[in-house]
Structure 1
Amino acid sequence: LGDTIAMISFKIPIKSILLYHTKEFVVSGASVLAVFLICIFCIYKIHKKNETLKMQTQLLMINQSRLALMGEMIGNISHQWRQPLSQISSTLINLELYNERGKLSKERLEGGIKDAGEQVKFMSDTIEDFKNFFNPNMPKKEFNVSEAIEQARKILNASLKKHVIDISVRIEENFTLYGNVNELIQVLINIINNAKEAFLDVPLKRREIKIRSFLKQGERVITIENNASRIDEARLGKIFEPHFTTKQQGSGLGLYMSKMIIEKNGGSISAANSDEGAIFTIAFR
C-alpha cells in the first residue's frame, strides 16, 4: 500500500442522468492532509467572520440604546431645569419690583442673589450628573451600590415626579461592587423606565418602586420591584431578547442591553412576577 491511505470514489453523469461511470483515484497521505488543512482554514475564517459580524451587531445595538437613552436624558434635563429657571425668573421680577418702589434693601438684594445662585448651582450639578453618566472613559473601581442608585434617581427625578412615582430604597451598609458604576446606573435606569411605562398603562393610586440589596448564598443581590401590572407569562421569557417590546415606539433594546452589561461583569439578571407586579433580580458572585 505504501503512502496510499484513502480511496475516493465519485460518479459523473454522462449524457443521461441514468447512466453513470465510476472512477477510482488513489490519494496520497500528503494530499489528504492538504485538503484537511484547507477545510480547517475555511471553517476558521467563516467562524471569525461570524464572530466579527456578531460583535459589530452588538456594538450597533449598544450605540442605538445609548442614543435613545441620550434623547430621553435631554428631555429629563429640560424637566429638571424648568423649576429652577422659573424660580430665578420669579426672584429677578421681585427684585425689579422692589427696586421700582424704592424698597430694595441690601438684605433683600443679597437674599435674592443667594436664592438665584442656589438655583444656578442646582442646574450646574444636573449637567455634571449627566456628563459623568455619559463619560465613556469611566474606569472600573469598587463603588457603593447606594451611590449608583442615588445617581439613577437624580437623573430620572423629573420624570418620576411628573408621573408621581415613589422610589423606596433599602440597601445594606457598605454594599459594594467592582466595575464601571455608569454601567450599573444604565441598567437601573432601563429597569426603572420599564416600570414607568408599565405604570402609565395602569391607573393606580400609589405608584411605587422598591429597590433592595442583600447577600444570599454568597451572592450580592439587587432587586427592583414595582406594583404595576404583572408581566404576561408568554412574554416573561422574551423580555431580554433584542428588539422585543410591547411599546408602540419602543426599541426593545433597554432590557437586552441590561442583560449584556450584567453578564459581561460576571452577573445574572432575571425577571419574575410578584404579588403586586414585577420584580427584577440582579446577582453577582
Structure 2
Amino acid sequence: MIDKIKAHYIFNIVSIIVLFSTLIIYSLFVQTKKNVEEINMNSHLDYIDNITNNISNLIKQSTNQTIYKSLKNDEVLRKNIEKSIEVFITNRYRYIYVLDKEDEKNDVFRFLLDGEKKLSERSDFLEEYTPSNIKDLNEVYKTKKPLYFKHKDIKTLWITYLKPIIIDDKVQAVIVVDFSLETHDKIIETLNNLDDSLKVILYFSFILFIVILIFAYLDKKREDSKLALFNKLKYTNKELKEKTKEVKNKSQKIIEFNKTLEETIKNEVAKNRQKDKQIIEQSRLAQMGQMLSMIAHQWRQPLSAISSTSNALNLKAQLGKLDNQTAVTLAKNISVYAEHLSLTINDFRDFFKSNKEKQETNFSELIRVVLTIIEISIKNKGIKLIKKLECEDSFYSYPNELKQVLLNILQNSEDVLIQRSIKNPYIEINTYKKGKKMIIEVKDNGGGILSENIDKIFDPYFSTKIKKDGTGLGLYMSKMIISEHCNGKLIVSNDSEGAVFRIILNKDKEDKCQED
C-alpha cells in the first residue's frame, strides 16, 4: 500500500515537472522572439540611416543653390543623382525618393528625385504628390529630425523612413524610403510557426498532466474500494466464526482461499497493467518519436545558430561594439536560418497533402523533400546514400503522390538491408532521360527479390514482411498511383547486387508512358 502511495506521488511530481518545464521553455522562446523582432527592426533603421546620410551628403555637395533651383536648372545633375539613388533600391528597400514643399504654408508636396529603376514608372520632376501621412512629413519639417512610421493598411509596405535634408538650418527637402514587407514577413511567419509548434507541445504537456492526475485518482479510489471490501469480508467471517463452530473450518478455508485468490488476482492485474502500459507507451513513443526525431534532426542546427547569433548581437550591443556591418551580417544570418526552418516546416506540413490538380515539378525537388523525411534514418543505420541526378527537366504530375511512392520504395530498401545484415550497404538514386521518357531509379545491394516472388511483388496483400506486420499494400498502391494517376510505369528487376525499382514518366502532359 505504501508503494502504491509513493507511485501516486511520483507520477504527480513528474507530470508537474513536465508541465512547468514546457512553460519555462515557451516563455523563454516568447522573449527570444521579441528580441529577434527588435534587433531586426533596429538593424534596418541603422542601415537605412546611413544610406540616407550618404544621399543627403551627395545632394548637398552637388547643389550650390537651393536644392530645388539646382535640380531645375541642371537636368544632367538630376539624372546623375537619381542613378546614384537607384543603386540603394533592393527588394528590401522598395522605393527611395526626394520630396519638397511647394510652399511651407500649404501641404502640397512634389517630387524632386525618384530612384525607381523602371523609367516608365518613375515620377516626373515637380510632379505633385499627395502622401498618406502628411502629418508625419509636416512633423519632419517642423522638428528637423528623422522619423519613421509603420503601415497598417498597405499590404506591400512595412515601414516608411523620413530623413530631412537641412541646409542653412532649414529643411529644403525630405528623403523618403519605403521598406518592403516581404523580408519582414518571412521572419515573422517563421517565428509564428515556431510559436505554434511550441504551443502544441505545451497543450500536449497540459493534457498529459490532467490524464496522469485522473489515472492516479481512479487508481487510488479503486485501491480504497478493494481495501474496504476486504475489511468487510473479514468482519463477516469473524461473525460467522462467533455464531457457529460448525462452519469454523469451512470459513477458515474460505478466508484462506479468498486471500490466495486476491493475491493471484493482484499479481495478474499487475502483470496485465504492466503489459498495457508497455503497449501504450511503445505506441505513443513510436508515433511521437518518428515525428519529433525527424523534426528535431532538421531543427537542431538552425535553432542553435539562431540562438548563438542572437546572443552575439546582444553581447556586442551591450559592449558597444556592434557596428553596422556586423549587425547587417548577423541579421542576414538569422534570416537564412529562419528561412531554413520555414522550409522544413513546409516540407513536413505539405508532405501528405492531397493535390487535386497537377503541378509542375522535377525529380530533384521530389528527392530533396523525401530525403528531408528519411535521409537521417538511412544514414544513422550506416547505409550509404548515393545520388546521381542527371535529369533536371520539369513535368506536370501529382508531386505528393510521387513523394509517397518514392518514400515507400526507399523504406523497403532500408528494411531489406537491415534485415539481411548486408555489409557495406548502400542505396543509389539515379535520374536520367531516355527519349521522351524521364526515369527515376532506386537500387540497393540487398541481394534482390527471390525469383518466385518477383512476379507477385505488386499483387495486393502480397508481402515478404509478414512476420513484421507487412500488409502487402505498399507496392500495390505505389503501382496504382504511378499507372492510374501519373500515367507512368513502376517496374522492378534484379541486377547483380540487388533490386532495381524504376519509375518511368513521360514529359508530355497527357501521353501515357510505354514500357521498353
TM class by shorter chain equals: 0.5 to 0.7
Aligned pair in 2 of structure 1 residues 193, 220: CA closer, same or farther (>3 Å)? Answer: same
Q: Is 1:214 matched up with 2:433?
A: yes
Contact 2:425 2:446 survives alignment (8 Å): no
Aligned equivalent of 1:88, options 291, 302, 306: 306
Higher-helix-fraction structure: 2
Unaligned 5+ residue runs, structure 1?
Answer: 1-67
Q: Which amino acid aligns with 1:79?
A: H
Other-structure match for 2:490: 269
1:161, 1:213 → 2: CA distance? Answer: 24
Q: Which amino acid aligns with 2:390?
A: I
2:443, 2:339 → 1: CA distance? Answer: 33
Other-structure match for 1:52: none
Contact 1:210 1:226 survives alignment (8 Å): no
1:96, 1:249 → 2: CA distance? Answer: 53
**How far did 1:124 drift?**
0.4
Correspondence list, 1:240-255, <5 A: 240-243=458-461, 244-246=463-465, 248-255=468-475
Aligned pair in 2 of structure 1 residues 249, 122: CA closer, same or farther (>3 Å)? Answer: farther
2:476, 2:287 → 1: CA distance? Answer: 14
Q: Which amino acid aligns with 1:214?
A: K
Other-structure match for 1:48: none
Aligned pair in 2 of structure 1 residues 88, 220: CA closer, same or farther (>3 Å)? Answer: closer
Aligned equivalent of 1:135, options 322, 328, 353: 353
Greater RCO structure (CA 8 Å; 6+ sep):
1
Output one character per residue of 1:224-253: Cα deviation in whole Å (capped at 9) or x when no partner.
212333223343334323442426254443
1:125, 1:221 → 2: CA distance? Answer: 27
SS in 1 for 2:468: coil
Contact 2:457 2:475 survives alignment (8 Å): yes
**How far did 1:156 drift?**
3.2
Output one character per residue of 1:120-142: Cα deviation in whole Å (capped at 9) or x when no partner.
21110111223333332351145
Higher-strand-fraction structure: 1
When the two structures are superposed, what TM-score results if normalisation uses the length of structure 1?
A: 0.60
Aligned pair in 2 of structure 1 residues 205, 263: CA closer, same or farther (>3 Å)? Answer: same
Other-structure match for 1:120: 338
SS in 2 for 1:232: coil
Aligned pair in 2 of structure 1 residues 171, 113: CA closer, same or farther (>3 Å)? Answer: same
Aligned equivalent of 2:371, options 148, 153, 164: 153
Aligned pair in 2 of structure 1 residues 222, 86: CA closer, same or farther (>3 Å)? Answer: same
Other-structure match for 2:501: 280
**How far did 1:280 drift?**
0.5
Aligned equivalent of 1:165, options 369, 384, 406: 384
Aligned residue-pair number: 215
**How far did 1:214 drift?**
2.8
SS in 2 for 1:276: coil
1:227, 1:258 → 2: CA distance? Answer: 22
Q: Is 1:188 matched up with 2:440?
A: no
SS in 2 for 1:237: helix
Aligned pair in 2 of structure 1 residues 262, 98: CA closer, same or farther (>3 Å)? Answer: same
Aligned pair in 2 of structure 1 residues 88, 239: CA closer, same or farther (>3 Å)? Answer: farther
Aligned pair in 2 of structure 1 residues 84, 198: CA closer, same or farther (>3 Å)? Answer: farther
Q: Which amino acid aligns with 2:341?
A: M
Aligned pair in 2 of structure 1 residues 142, 109: CA closer, same or farther (>3 Å)? Answer: closer
Correspondence list, 1:6-155, <5 A: 72=290, 75-92=293-310, 102=319, 105-106=322-323, 110-155=328-373
Q: Which amino acid aligns with 2:322?
A: S
Aligned equivalent of 2:478, options 251, 258, 266: 258
Contact 2:359 2:396 survives alignment (8 Å): yes
Q: Percent identity?
A: 36
Contact 1:212 1:224 survives alignment (8 Å): no
Other-structure match for 1:41: none
Structure having the higher Rg = 2
2:480, 2:287 → 1: CA distance? Answer: 16
CA root-mean-square deviation: 3.5
**How far did 1:262 drift?**
1.1
Output one character per residue of 1:239-285: Cα deviation in whole Å (capped at 9) or x when no partner.
32344242625444332221110121333322222112210122323
SS in 2 for 1:81: helix
